[in-house]
């Protein structure tokens, strides 16, 4: 039978989103999480041409640091290199953005920040100006040109759109008013402050914070325990933190589009196989 999926937004800002997703199962949540982490493309610096480096760090270490700076991504304005009509290893202005840097420590020691990178596209810039790249001593200079491209997390972690993406079961807590004598032991032991003690009863203060650790059940002196902890089978609390490359809701919608496309491809292949075998 067709089941409706219900989604409730618990919180959302420009980097984080937390949802309750109802009517799905663990394989779906895993597929969504994996699509987000490894398939949703974002921009990252991929090639670095060092023109001058008199700092104490080797070119390779600087290049590695540059790759890990999250860049604001314009998914609609650029092609993935493998899908770009240019078919060029070097890229074109539809699949590559150039960022340059030229800093010399003239007055004294100077920290070079992500904000010192100059981009040819004002929409493709580091998500923060305050990411340190290197410290230059007086007289040292760093000059380079870099090329950022869209890529996927499955090829390198620098292309992951999220710094966190996780889900957990929706907890279910039941307290038997007949057996519970409000001793408060479960309240004291709970590491997440989920429960509160009222005069003659225990109440649930923050259900969403429960990690289903069951410490409260073990602490209950009643035999059998007056408190029981479980979870809803098809309801999950899902959260992600964007690196800032894309808004969190765009990351989710892109992942769903990718899953949809993959399923269509699977269906077409199965149909193709079937007709070949007929
Ligand atoms: S299961 Fe763990 S987190 Fe949840 S209420 Fe009990 S002690 Fe607290
Ligand atoms: S530990 Fe058990 S008996 Fe004591 S307050 Fe909690 S549920 Fe009630
Ligand atoms: Zn191109």
> Which ligand lies nearest the alpha carbon of 88?
3
pLDDT tens across the length of the chain (278 residues): 556 899 999 999 999 999 999 999 999 999 999 999 999 999 999 999 999 999 999 999 999 999 999 999 999 999 999 999 999 988 999 999 999 999 999 999 999 999 999 999 999 999 999 999 999 999 999 999 999 999 999 999 999 999 999 999 999 999 999 999 999 999 999 999 999 999 889 999 999 999 999 999 999 999 999 999 999 999 999 999 999 999 999 999 999 999 999 999 999 999 887 665 55
Span 143-201, pLDDT tens digits: 999 999 999 999 999 999 999 999 999 999 999 999 999 999 999 999 999 999 998 89
State phi, psi for 120 to the nearest 5 degrees. Answer: -75, -20
Report the distance separating Cα 182 and Cα 236, nearest Å: 30
Give the CA distances from residue 158 to residues 37, 70, 152, 188, 253, in Å, rounded to whole numbers and listed in that order: 11, 8, 8, 42, 20
The partner residues of 255 in beta bridges, in order of sequence, read none
Residue in the block written with tokens 């590491």: 191
Report the distance separating Cα 150 and Cα 91, nearest Å: 11
Q: How far, in Å, is the centroid of ligand 1 from the Cα of 5?
A: 27
**Ligand 1 neighbourhood includes 195 CB (under 6 angstroms):** yes
The partner residues of 11 in beta bridges, in order of sequence, read 18
Nearest CA to ligand 2 atom 4: 183
Around Cβ 68, how many Cβ atoms within 10 Å? 13
Q: How far, in Å, is the centroid of ligand 3 from the Cα of 94?
A: 5
Span 239-248, pLDDT tens digits: 999 999 999 9
pTM of the model: 0.87
Nearest CA to ligand 2 atom 8: 180
Nearest CA to ligand 1 atom 4: 210
Q: How far, in Å, is the centroid of ligand 1 from the Cα of 8?
A: 23
């Amino acid at each position: 039978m067709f089941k409706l999926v219900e989604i409730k937004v618990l919180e959302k800002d420009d980097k984080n989103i937390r949802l309750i997703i109802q009517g799905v199962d663990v394989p779906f949540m895993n597929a969504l999480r994996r699509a987000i982490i490894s398939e949703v493309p974002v921009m990252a610096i991929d090639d670095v041409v060092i023109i001058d480096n008199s700092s104490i760090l080797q070119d390779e270490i600087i290049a590695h640091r540059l790759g890990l700076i999250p860049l604001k991504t314009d998914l609609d304005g650029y092609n993935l290199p493998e899908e770009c009509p240019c078919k060029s290893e070097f890229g074109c202005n539809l699949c590559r953005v150039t960022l340059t840097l030229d800093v010399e420590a003239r007055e004294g020691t100077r920290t070079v920040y992500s904000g010192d990178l100059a981009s040819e596209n004002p929409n493709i810039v580091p998500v923060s100006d305050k990411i340190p790249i290197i410290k230059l001593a007086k007289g040292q200079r760093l000059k380079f040109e870099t090329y950022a491209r869209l890529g996927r997390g499955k090829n390198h972690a620098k292309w992951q759109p999220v710094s966190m993406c996780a889900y957990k079961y929706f907890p279910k807590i039941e307290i038997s008013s007949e057996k519970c004598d409000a001793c408060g032991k479960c309240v004291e032991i709970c590491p997440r402050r989920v429960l509160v003690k009222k005069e003659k009863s225990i109440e649930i203060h923050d259900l969403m914070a429960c990690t289903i650790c069951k410490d409260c059940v073990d602490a209950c002196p009643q035999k059998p325990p007056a408190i029981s902890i479980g979870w809803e089978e098809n309801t999950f609390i899902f959260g992600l933190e964007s690196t800032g490359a894309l808004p969190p809701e765009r990351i989710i919608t892109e992942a769903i589009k990718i899953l949809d496309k993959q399923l269509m491809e699977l269906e077409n292949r199965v149909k193709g196989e079937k007709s070949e075998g007929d």
